[in-house]
Structure 1
Amino acid sequence: MKLTRWRTIAAAFLALLQPALPSALLARQHVAKPQAHPAVWRVQKGNSTVYLFGTIHALPPNFEWETPEVRKVVGSADKLVLEAVIDQDPTKSAAALFKIGMAPGEIAPLAERIDPKYRTALTDLEKKSAVPAATLDKMKTWAAGMVLFGATVQTLGVNSADGVEERLKAEFRAANKPIEGLETLEQQLGFFDTMAEPQQREFLEGVVDQQADDVADFGKMLGAWAHGDEKGIARSFDKDMKKSDALRTVLIARRNAHWADAIVARLNQPGTQLVAVGAGHLVGQDSVQAMLAKLGYQAVRIE
């Protein structure tokens, strides 16, 4: 099972909860200094403009992605709209995860919730986690998976402090421009909480099942994003997700439809807004742009 399955989806959430993840290995993948051209789309209605920008939540240090066109869009925007505005205090984010993610009653130990072939890998990953195994055993399966995902990210050499959102937030704050969210953190976590237990267990197994080529896979995804390669991004994010219609519906399609409705509402406001969400939400058949098209709005790629 590759990173491009459940861990890529979890990254869209957990990277926002991790204030500083270690960096190490991506320099070996020769992706630190690409000639970046990440994709940007424009949606217009009257005197209102919304730019759609697909992001990577966590990046290697010194990864340059702001092209002249991106800088122009950022400079023209009156407001930044993210998936969610996460509190800068990481303890508050962690508290939200534990509030939603703790099992309400007795629950089987985590090792008994996955296929026996993954149990040794689970034990190894638990040792790398900052959360004790006894606490993980009391968590819902999806929540334990998200916590353990933090330990797997250490091998990717990325840092959410270097991610696209953090730089955008810094630029908008410096310009005294407002920053808003399409969702709250509690809503984001709630999407995982709606998954049935079999789906949660498959998610946990995907986190535990680390592969030797995970770093290379992430490098490919990052390269596709940096070059605005929509098909490449879609391959990375959708390779195995397409095997689970239920998870795609919960984590991708349903959220994208909600965001499209929110964007249409924002198009009723004059001015220019930059909507920056994970790149995986802006590619494929369930993309935000596809949802907008169903509502009668065309997103035109400009970069």
Structure 2
Amino acid sequence: MDRKLTKSEALELLTPVVDNEVSAEERDAFLEYIADDKNLKQEYESMKRVKALMADRCPCAKAPESLKDFLSSYCSSTSVDEISRKNSVTQQEQTEPSVSSAQQSNWWYYAAAAVVVFTISVWSFLNYGSSAVENPTYNIEEYAYQHFMKHGGKLVPPTISTASLGSAEIELAQNYNMSMTIPELDKAEFKGVVYEEFVPDFKAPMLEYYVPGEDQFIYIFAFNIDEIEQFGQLVRNQEAVKTCTKSRDFHIRNVNGKHVVSWKWNNIWYAAISNHDGNTLASLVKPLAYEPSKD
């Protein structure tokens, strides 16, 4: 899709993009359009948050016996009987079937299905909805992606402006109570630390690097695992948690076409994102000692 989208075309792509049902070209065209349309961009980000919230807070669960009994009683006493009556025809009537009768039959099936779906939806909201709104959860990889897209993968004015990894570590420890190792990246210049709100009510440092040979920036977010658990609303990808047990372990997750590389050193969780392929990005982090050519 070489041409730019119109407003109506972008609106039509909104839901498919959120549901990952478009091609890479369509997604790129959509993201390029919303970069200049603040209202549609806000709607897109809102839908992404709702989808992530539903996935985190409303997982599939076995329905209680009370719901099963209600549905069974309702369907057997009303819906099933109605469907049976509407679909009961004599042998003479079946000799000349009409389109209208078939449509009517289908309508009753859809109506009965809609009743069941609506009942389950209401029950789920009453049991999970209120708690989900009060205590939303935020996925680290997805919010790392949102920050990268928000800033266009460009330099963000640092809170701690220094080219020295050691100086930045000292200032983070003294002023922000964040004792951590700032990784050295191959072929990249350290630009400093942005200390700001990562998600509502939770701040975290974002380490900024610049690769001059490629004119690319790399963001690395760092989190104290104890603070994550205490906060209770910031979640890590469970596959990443299982994978990253040793200092050289890392995990790559594709978030809307961008690769987020995660790893753990001591009690600090890192999430790196850039325009690089995940394996290439991991190979730039010197302490991980990863060489893609060997895999």
Q: Same fold (TM over 0.5)?
A: no
TM-score (norm: length of structure 2): 0.22
* Rg (Cα) greater in structure: 2
Structure with the bigger RCO (C-alpha within 8 Å, sep 6+) is: 1
